[in-house]
Structures are given as structure tokens and as C-alpha cells.
Structure 1
């Protein structure tokens, strides 16, 4: 029997009580199961593991809805309650991880007693590793300190997220300063009573303005405002966060936080991270120089004495290069990407690719613009998804997939939420690509929600593989035959294939700059943490400037503090490299598809079943090898970067 989806509150006023009640009931059930393991564990070792897994599932339910609603709910009171629920779940999880009596239950299991069940063997190994990494073997005073550190880390991470989420900055400009902006954008931004237009740092404003506005002062002012979000408030939060992560890692026996974090990822060791960063930076050196030469040549037509292109002019002049050199006018392109058509097209494309159907359902949601769908496969409901795709006050500012519930066969239906900030009208193609990317996470979550273990449900692979399936799905947003099924202008004319070909050629321009920018972010993510192991810890701004000079293609904009709103320093900590690591794998996996028939069912279904549906049931490298028939390699990525 298919489990029923989670019943959400039917009216706004009920949300606070729902959050309290669900948090209390799930935490109570988790506590009951764990207490049972301490006092009267089952005789069957597999049953012991299952009871622990179910307890973790109930705890995960609280952490999941706490994280989601803390980032999306319109009511501040509901967001605060959700944050508190997530903190409570984290605190209880920390208590379990440091409980020697619990650890002894798993340490006492004879490995041979679970050998008949490969997933139980895998789970037992991971549970034991979790306990060791937690510091369960330390003395009581040390374990108390570890508990306090973890609780504070959760608080800091949430506060960092809250500040960057709520710090929306604006610039006010005269209407004539917005010459070059698309007509639909201008229509949605009328002048106020003082004759000025307010432009915010939210993406539906900041991206098109920096790309299209002819006025350099507007581009500069908005870029500075964008880069200054969170400053100076978050510097103290991040400084404390990095120090506590380092203390935690060294307390449990690691050299530094990156070493602790990498121990459970594909990359394996902390020092391998800067080695990977430098490998990508070296591979991108020539493509970056080629891109910059083309960009500077165009820039010098307007600024003859320029020796470099400042960051606030990059998007505008990169767009001019694409328009003039590749005959791609982004304002023309966006006329083919009406939001409603794109959303429906995404569902039709992924449904056809993976043999799925999406049925709209009229169910309670947290905001009127959220849409819900039941996901069906072979006539059976396999999950529910929610699409929360437009900006509003108090909402998460980036794009991400959030879990509402993890799925386990017969017990709980997988439910996931896409949280983005797209225009309600015409979309930039870059945002279409982002939508496909994030939907890849949603598919991974739903398809992998039908196994027997919460631990392996959904996007439960190593964190440096998590992005690969999403990055691969982006390819379908670049193919003319795919786009023409849903991308059409106001008259209904599909996007021309020759325009898509030009868009792809134009997209190749700038990927050297992109790769080096990503390595700057990855280096910042790594060294902000690794520096804590040194005798002297550099100032964050100074370290950022130094790393930008070493890795990035574009120069530092004096007086700005981009790191202050770099949200990945929270969840991704020292592992931002994972985006590029995953892209290497994504390019290799995509090589198995035939670009002349991207919907060929044999390879698409094999990928669905071998990689997506497996969740965390195997090591990521093994899942990819099962799909490709060989270990993943660097070659496809290198060829793409060099082309």
C-alpha cells in the first residue's frame, strides 16, 4: 500500500500549532525507539539496525520540515518555530551520537549476523563510523564540549542563513537610467511618487539589470549592493563558525575541518581538495585567457585605456560579446521562455525521459503561489513535489531542493520542494537551466524514496556526487529538439533551432571564466576552514582578496565583502569544490547518451534505475560505474572545457 502524503495545515493560522505538534510527536517517537534500543534491543541484529534507522527517520522529519519552513514560510512566527524545531532535532541527534551506551549496542553486533543483508552490512558500517566521528570515545567533559559546539554550530548556521536571506538591499534610480532593460521588466517597475525606480538585490532584479542596463553607474551600484549583503553582521558569525568547526574536527582526531568533512566524501582527504582546485584551475587557464581577451577587446571599444574588465561590467559586456560575436540577443531569447510554458515543459520533458507523470493536486500549501503535483510511475503514486518558484519577503534567496519527507517503502512517501526565485513572466535562459538543474535534485529525491532504509533514501550519496545528476539534467535545457517542445514566443512560434545553436556556441564563451570563478569560490570555502590550523588566522576579507587574485578571472571590487553572503559557507562548509567535482562526473555520464535522441528509453531508464533510484545504497563511484560500465573519468570534462 502506498503511504499517504503528509497533511499540511489548511489555513495560515494553523501553521504554528502544526509545527509544534509535528515536531513534538516526531521527536517523541524517535526518543521512544532509541530508548528501546538502550533498554530492550531486539534479538535480531537487523531489527536493531531497523529500529535505529526508523528513529533517525523520525528525527530527520523534524530537521527536514524545520529547514524548509524556516526558509520559505511567509509567517515570521512560523519560521522561528521551524528554526527552533530544527535546532531541537540537531541537539537530540548530537546527544545520540555521543551516547556510549547506544554505541555499545552497535559495537556488540557480530558482523556475520547481518552478512546475509548487504544493505544492513552497509548501514552497520556507517553507523559505527558516525559514532567514531562524533567523539563517542572521548571522556565525559570532552563529549559535553562537543555537544555544546554542535549546538552552537547549528545556531550560527541558521543565523547566517537568516541574515543573508533577509538582507535585501536596494538602489533607487531615475527611469532613464534603466535604458536597455526589457519592456516587461520596466512595466513591472514603475517609478514611485518621487519619480525613482527601486531595484533590489533579489535575482529577478539584479541579474537582468547587471546584464542589460546601459548605465554603468547603475550596474556598479547594484553590484556593490549585491556583494555587500550580510556585511558586516555575518563576519563575526562566520569567524566563530569556522573556529568551532576546527575545534570539533581536531577534538575527534582530524588535522582540520576539511579533513574531517572529506573523510566521508568521494574525494577522501582534505589535502586532495586544493589539489583538485589547482587541477581545474590549470585546465581552465587557457580557456580563461581566451575568454578574457575577447571580453577586453570589446570593452576597449568603449574604454580604450582599460587593462581589465571590472566585475560590475562583466555580465553586461559578456552579453554584448554573445550578441555581437555569436548573434545571440538575450532579450530576444527570453521572449521564448514564458514562465508558465517553461514549468509545464520541464514536467513534460522529465516525464517523457524517465517515464513519469505529474498530476496537479489541490492541497494545502504555505503560500498561494506554490503548486503541488503527485508523481506517478506506471500508474502508481511514487511521491509528491511542491514548486515554490517566485521571490517574496522572508524567503530563501537562492535556488535549492528541500526535503519535506524522505521516502521508505510502505512507511513514508517521498515529498520534496523546489525553492527558487524566478520571474513570474519571461525568464532568462540561464534561469531555465537553473530550473532544470534543481529539478534534477527533486527527481533524485523522489525516485530514491522507495527502498527499505531511511539512511539510503533520496539524495543520500556522498556530498560531492550530489550535484552530478542535476548538472547532467541541464543538458536537456540546451538541446533544440527539447526546447522547441515548450519554448515559444507570444505568437506561439517555437524557438528557432539556429538560435539554440548560437546560444550553445555563446555559452561556450565564458566557461573558462566560469571555471576559474568557481575555483575561487572553492578555494575560499576550503582555505577559510583550513587556515584555522595555522599559527595565524588571516583576516577573512584579506584572504578573500588574495584567493580572488590567485584563482578568479575577474578583479576584486574594492571595498566589497562577497564572502559575507556566500551562503554555501554554511551547508557546504569547506566543500564547495563539489560543484566542479560533480560536473566532471556529470559530463562523463552524459557521454552515454546519444545527442541525436536524448529521450532514448534504454539509456534513460538504465540511468534512472542504476543511479537515481539507488539513492545511497552504494558508493557513488560504484553507481556511476554500474551505469557507464567503467569508472568515471576526467576526459569528457576536459574535452568540454577545451572546446
Structure 2
């Protein structure tokens, strides 16, 4: 389906045949044999002028733009108004219909059969290019009129795509292509992988079903999309407050906000209403000596209405029915067939092994908390740690750098990122000016990503500052993927078109033409990637100065730039296997690995443009002593996700709360609290349905890659080239198990079977701090 790069890149809930993903693979450049690249030890080059220019670019308040010729969003001359966006969607829809008709007629000409895979990918890109843009606009644009137009565009084109997913004619044409020996031999490995992706997705969408059941598939897919969006809205809905009595706040007098809470309760002579998620709630959970107010806040934060529970269970039942419709035992079986895990049974192998490894450490941490509780309350030995005790007896500590660093401004961090990418890949970040109308807000900065040999690889639009109405958290959006375009043969799409068609599609043709770039020194044209980073950092001001990032914000930026480099490096001929458009349980590997680089003092020296940092161990570096408890909890979440997408979810007696309680009773370390139903706040059940294990899985792989490949010499160019050659250049165009096996030189992983999953489960997850809300 449409693999949109969202807070993840990865919140796309469904993956039907036209999942229009993409991944950089073709145009692979062999490793350079120049002396600088053959060097086996890292050498830190001084910051260039381009690097230091990044500091002012991000740290100074936005200066007035130079007068430029007006254009539209992302430089598309036609996209100057919300109405023009809808017109583009209508034009694209007609072009897609013409191209669909061409593919359906492919068996009338042997020459056309050889073009089917390319044309399917073009059809995918044609729709994805507008849908992905709509996804970004409806999340980032401050103008409600633009948001409304984006919603209309998104729904209109997604509806057409859902129909394509069950188009029997397209499936039959692709079947003939894959059964024709001469055509298959003509396909490059990347093209063949793209064809297989389409084939598997068609089959996953029940293409062999009778017409009535195919219609039901489309209807269910739409229902799931609607239910999922409603569910996400409910996860963000405020919960009713906890009522806290004045007497229950005893002990908070000397704790700033705690003193104000007590004073407020004393003056009003009423119970305090403390809303879950508020600063007051956090203060109580971390600092209230009495157990009762913490218990009340926990109960309030983890309660649900019957309507919220029913909404989630309707979503899960619809997914279970969808799976049964295509002959799968469960939604997990349907979803995981094309992932690294391959099956829910293999996921369970991984989670069980990881849980067995983590449980002793988590138990040890809980024993420490129990002793703290015993000393605090003067109880008999080893009282039970309850869910509301975790933050009080082991307050979460913010992550800190491993060495002493001065305050890091946003521009300084981007400079360090550019220097890191130069050292590893020969790739740098450069300033790029925007034209009037090109961006949706004056905060947005544009960067071009430049390879020292191949020139411009693509563009990053950085929308990094908080503002009213903008979504919270951090996100990476793929607005445009890599794709070769000079061999499109788009004129063949109009063989059966009339003059009216040609007039209608002109807007779409102009939109597509503006995305093409001739590669220097080569007689080929490519569509270069465009990605957008959304964050919510403080805006620089004349009075306050540059934006200084907390360490967790530096981690977040490195994580999202890991996704960005995955999207940028390499040039695939097929957008359906481009960059982050790869298996869900593989896509987080490059981004999580980027966080590990922040554990290296030599990498941290890149934050200093003048080479004057004193590299010394910092006294404030620490590991969260209770991190193993949190890792075990995340394992339970992954297990719950599997249970919710198992065959049980389709039975009449399925009860999501009972399943939650059973899991805690059989696998949990902290007791389940009767009356709580926090599953309705588990938003990843929508975007990551049956694949929530992916983050743990990629954390384990990233830890192993860092410790065995990069840690000895993090800036070594030869190592960066190897990683680029084995992992980044392929995106989704190669089996991820083969890529990881080759990089780590562990042949046992190449099969990707249950033993390979268990082997990853045995690897230690280390050297990376999980920041909530990052994907």
C-alpha cells in the first residue's frame, strides 16, 4: 500500500497490493578506491564553511526572504491554493485510470508485457506522490483550508487505490508477467523484488475471492481506516481528573509545585482535580509520599469509557474478519507474511527469548524498589511494587551525554550531523533557499543533501519549531521517493485517450515533470527524494537567542536523521522499494543505530567546529537503574499487540480487558490493577497492528551492529561505506535478513527462520536510550 513516512514513517495502517512504497537501490556506485576512502582509521576534518553556515541557518530568527518568483508547495507551480490541490488530485486520478487501462491491455502486445512492472511502479508513484503530500499537508499546514483540501485529496485517492488493490485484471497481467521466463529474465533484481511485492500484496488482498467478497474486502479496509483514525483521536482525548484531598498531599510542602497544590486545596476547601498527563499529575506520581494520591492519579490515567473499549474491539474484530476473508488464521498471520518475522510464531520466539534475557534484570531492579518501599513505609520485607510505585521509588531520569558538553544549539547539532555524514558516507548537508510559497510556514528550513561524487541526492525540509495546532512529537514524512524516470514511456499511456483526457491530465503531467532531474555525467533522469522532518523545539528569538536542545532532543534529531539518510542514500529505479519503504520490522534499524553514535566521545567532538572541546568523562552520565523494568514492559506491550491480532480477536467472546489482565497475570512482573483499561491509549495498535515488536527487534539489531561494526572506530570511512553498501542503498529491494547477515558476517541469520529470530532475541539491547514518542 502507500508506505507514507510518518511518525515513523510507519503509521500506514494497511498494506494492500498498491502499497506504493519505495527504496533506494539502483545506480549503485562501487566503493571508491581513493586513498581517503581506503583509510582504515578515522580522521576528523575541520568543519567546513558549509558546515558552520548551518549554525546561523538554524540558530538565528528567520530573516526576511529575498524577493523570488512565487511558486507553490515544494516548488510545484500549480500548488498555490487549496483548490489547486484538489484539481491536482482529479487530474492525477484520470491519469491513473489511463495508466491502469494500459496495464490491463498489456497482453495485447509482447512489448507491453516487458513494461508491466515499470508501469505498476509508475502507477503506484503517481498516486503515492499526491497522497503522501496530502498526508504531510493535513498534519503540518497551519491553514484550515489547506488541511480540508488535503483531507479531500487523501480520501479520494485512497478510495481509488483500495479498488486497485482488488483489481483482478491487474493481478492476472502480473501473473502472466511472472510466469513468462523471458520477461522474468529481463528484470533486474530490484525490478523482480518490486514485482514480487505487488504479487504478495495482491494475494494478501484476497484477489482470488468471488466478487462479493472482494467488495467486502474493500469495505472492511475502509472501515478499518475510519475506525483507526477514530481510535487515534480517542487515545489523545483527555481522561477525567482524579480527586485528591488536601490531607493526601502531605509531604509535598517543600517541593515547589507540590506546595502550590497543597495551598490551592487549602484555600478552596475542595478536592483538587488533577488531570492525567498534567504537570500536577507528574509531580504527584514522582513525589507524593502517600500512596493513595498516586493510586488515584494512576487509576484516572488508565481508565476508559465502555465506548472507547468498544471502538478498539470493533477495530480488532474488523481486522480479524479481513484476515479470515483472505484465508489467514489471524490478522497477525496476514500482516507478518512479508516482514522479517514472517509469522506470529516467529515473533513469539523472539519475544520469549528477549523476555527470558530481560526478566532477571527487571526482577533485580524491582527488588531494589521493594527495599526502598520497605524502608519508606517501614513494612515487612519486600512489599509488592504496584504500578503507581514505579516513578516514586525510581523517578525517571532524563538522558545525559557520556561526556561533559557545553549547551548545544540546534544549528550546532545540524553541523555535527553534516560532519558525521561526511566522515561516514561522503555526504553533507547544505543550505538551500526557498521561493515564495514553497513552504507552508516561515519556520521551515530547506537543506540539500549532497554526495561528494554524485552531487545532490535530495532535499530535507525541516519544520522543527513548536507552534499552535501543530502535532506533537517528532515525525519523518516521505513526500517523494527515488525513481528513475527517463525510461517511463509515459506517452504510451495516451494510446486510447481523447483530447478531453489530455486536457484533464495536463496538471498532473506538469506536477510529474517538475520532479525530474538529470544526473550529472549520465544520460539518465531521476526523481530525487524529498523528506520532511517535524519536531517541536523552542523557536529562536532575538531576546532569548538560539534554540538550545536538551539531550533527549538531540537523540530525537539523530534518530529522525537516521530515517532521512535511509531515504536519501542510493538511487533506486523503483519507488516501491525506496528508502524507508521496506519491512516494518527493519525500517527502524538505521534510525536507532544513529542514536548509538551519541555514545562515542569522538563523535561528540564533531559538535565543536574549532576542535577546542576537552574530551573527558562526565560525572552526570548514567543509565536509568530501572530501564530493564521499562524494557520488560515494552515486551509485554508487544505480546499484547500479538494477542489482540491473534485468531482470538475474531471470536464472539473476545474481551480486550480480559486479555490484558491474563497477560499481566502470566507474564507480568508488576501486578495488573483491576478496573484499569489502558489498552485504549495504546495508539500503536493502529499504525503498528501486529508489528509493535519491531522497535524492540531493531533495537537489538542496532545494538549488535554498533558494538561489532562501528564501536571500535565510529568515524571510519571504510565502515560507513560498508554499511551504506550492505544496508542503506537497498531500502526494501533486498531481503533484510540477507543484508543484516552480510553486514554482521553471520550466515546463520540469512534464512530468517525461527532460530534467527531467537538469536536476535538473545542479543543484548544496550547503549541506546529510548525516548517516548519517537518513531
Q: Structure 2 length normalisation: TM-score?
A: 0.70
Aligned to 2:227: 156
Match of 2:7 in 1: none
Seen in structure 2, the aligned counterparts of structure 1 residues 274 and 627 have a Cα distance that, compared at 3 Å, is closer
Counterpart of 1:539 in structure 2 is 655
Q: 1:381 to 1:10 in 2, by over 3 A?
A: closer
Aligned match of 2:699: 583
> Structure 1 residues 47, 534: closer, same or farther in 2, change over 3 A?
closer
Equivalent residue number for residue 100 of structure 1: 168
Alpha-carbon offset, residue 246 of structure 1 = 0.9
- Map residues 313-324 of structure 1 onto 2, 5 A cutoff: 313-315=389-391, 317-319=393-395
Q: Greater helix share, 1 or 2?
A: 1
Change beyond 3 A, Cα 1:482–1:543: same
Closer, same or farther: CA 642–136 of 1 in aligned 2, 3 Å: closer
Aligned residue pairs: how many?
A: 617
Task: Give 1:473 deviation, angstroms.
Answer: 1.3
Cα offset for 1:483?
Answer: 2.9
Matched, 1:463 2:534: no
Give the aligned partner of residue 735 of structure 2. Answer: 619
- 1:506 pairs with 2:623: yes
Q: How big is the shift at 1:630?
A: 2.6
Give the direction of change, closer, same or farther, for the CA distance of 1:232–1:384 in structure 2 (3 Å limit). Answer: farther
SS of the equivalent of 1:358 reads strand
Matched residue SS, 1:115: helix
Residue 572 (structure 1) aligned with residue 688 (structure 2):
yes
Provide Cα deviations, 1:374-402, integer angstroms capped at 9, x if missing partner.
11111611111123334444433343322
Give the Cα separation in 2 of the matches to 1:180 and 1:9.
Answer: 52
* 1:191 match: none
Q: Any conservation in 1 of the 2:331–2:647 contact (CA below 8 Å)?
A: no
Confirm whether residue 515 of structure 1 aligns to residue 625 of structure 2. no
1:189 aligns with none
Q: 2:703, 2:766 within 8 Å by CA — same for their partners in 1? A: no
Note the C-alpha offset of 1:560. 4.3
Give CA deviations for 1:460-506 in whole Å, capped at 9, x if unaligned: 22211111221211101222332344389xxx996873227x62x52
Equivalent of residue 598 in structure 1, options 692, 705, 714: 714
Q: Which residue of 2 aligns with 1:68?
A: 136
Partner residue of 2:100 out of 34, 38, 43: 34
Q: Say which SS state the counterpart of residue 698 (structure 2) adopts.
A: helix
Q: Distance in 2 between matches of 1:172 and 1:179?
A: 22
Partner residue in 2 for 1:190: none
Counterpart of 1:89 in structure 2 is 157
Equivalent-residue separation in structure 1 for 2:280 and 2:579 (angstroms): 33
CA distance in 2, matches of 1:22, 1:224: 49
Matched, 1:143 2:217: no
TM-score for the superposition, normalised by structure 1? 0.83
1:481 & 1:499 partners in 2: Cα distance?
A: 14
- Map of 2:56 onto structure 1: none
Q: Give the Å deviation of 1:79.
A: 3.2
Deviation at 1:562, TM superposition (A): 2.7
Instruction: Give the C-alpha shift of residue 253 in structure 1.
Output: 0.9
- 2:460 is aligned to 385
Decide whether aligned partners of structure 1 residues 356 and 48 sit closer, same or farther in structure 2, where only a CA change above 3 A counts.
Answer: same
Contact 1:243-1:532 at 8 Å conserved across structures: no
Identify the range of structure 1 (424-433 vs 114-123) with the bigger mean alpha-carbon deviation.
424-433
Say if 1:381 and 1:511 are closer, same or farther in 2 by CA, change over 3 A. same
CA distance in 1, matches of 2:762, 2:376: 34
Q: How does 1:161-310 map to 2 (within 5 A)?
A: 161-164=232-235, 227=302, 234-305=308-379, 307-310=383-386
Q: CA deviation at 1:523?
A: 1.3
Instruction: Give, in whole Å, the separation in 2 of the partners of 1:23 and 1:82.
Output: 10
**Structure 2 residue 535 is matched with structure 1 residue 420:** yes
Equivalent of residue 483 in structure 2, options 387, 408, 411: 408
In the alignment, the residues of structure 2 paired with residue 439 and residue 233 of structure 1 have an alpha-carbon distance, to the nearest angstrom, of 39
Q: 1:167 to 1:31 in 2, by over 3 A?
A: farther
Instruction: Tell me, yes or no, if the aligned pair for 2:410 and 2:548 is still in contact at 8 Å.
Output: yes
State whether residues 406 and 415 of structure 1, in contact with CA within 8 Å, keep that contact through their aligned partners in structure 2.
Answer: yes
5 Å matches for 1:106-125? 106-109=174-177, 110-116=180-186, 117-125=188-196
RMSD over aligned Cα atoms: 4.3
CA contact (8 A) 2:72 2:80 kept: no
Q: Unaligned 5+ residue runs, structure 1?
A: 187-193
CA distance in structure 2 between the aligned counterparts of 1:130 and 1:455, rounded to whole angstroms: 12
Partners of 2:429 and 2:632 lie apart in 1 by 38
How much has 1:335 moved relative to structure 2? 7.7
8 Å contact kept, 2:664–2:671 = yes
Q: How far 1:105 moved relative to its partner?
A: 1.1
Residues 40-59 of structure 1: per-residue CA shift (max 9 Å, x gap): 56624331111111000111
Q: How has the CA–CA distance of structure 1 residues 580 and 417 changed in structure 2, closer, same or farther, with 3 Å as cutoff?
A: same
Task: For residues 206-247 of structure 1, give each alpha carbon's deviation from its aligned partner in whole angstroms, at most 9, with x where no partner exists.
Answer: 99868976788997777666656x866643332221111111
Q: Secondary structure at the match of 2:686?
A: helix
Whether the aligned pair in 1 keeps the contact of 2:703 and 2:765 (CA below 8 Å) is no
Contact 1:16–1:78 (CA under 8 A) maintained in structure 2: yes
Cα pair 2:592 2:699 within 8 Å, conserved: yes
In the TM superposition, residue 607 of structure 1 has moved relative to its aligned partner by 0.3
Aligned counterparts, 1:333-372, within 5 A: 336-363=407-434, 364-372=438-446
Q: CA deviation at 1:513?
A: 1.3
- CA gap of 1:125–1:60, structure 2 versus 1, over 3 A, is same
| CA distance in structure 2 between the partners assigned to 1:165 and 1:366 by the alignment | 25
The one-character-per-residue Cα deviations of 1:558-607 (angstroms, maximum 9, x if unpaired) are 65443222221111101101111222222222233342421111011210
Whether 2:537 is the aligned partner of 1:444: answer: no
Larger Rg: 2
Contact 2:700 2:763 (8 Å CA) reproduced: no
Partner Cα distance (1:49, 1:105) in 2: 10
The structure 2 residue matched to 1:24, chosen from 90, 96, 99, is 90
Query: Which stretches in structure 2 are left out of the alignment for 5+ residues?
Result: 1-26, 28-70, 261-267, 485-524, 540-546, 750-755, 768-775
Structure 1 residues 81 and 215, CA, compared in 2 at 3 Å: closer, same or farther? farther
More moved, 254-263 vs 337-346 = 337-346
Of 118, 125, 129, the match for 2:200: 129
**Alpha-carbon distance change, 532 to 212 in structure 1, aligned in 2, over 3 angstroms:** closer
Larger relative contact order (CA 8 Å, sep ≥ 6): 2
Distance in 2 separating the partners of 1:214 and 1:350: 46
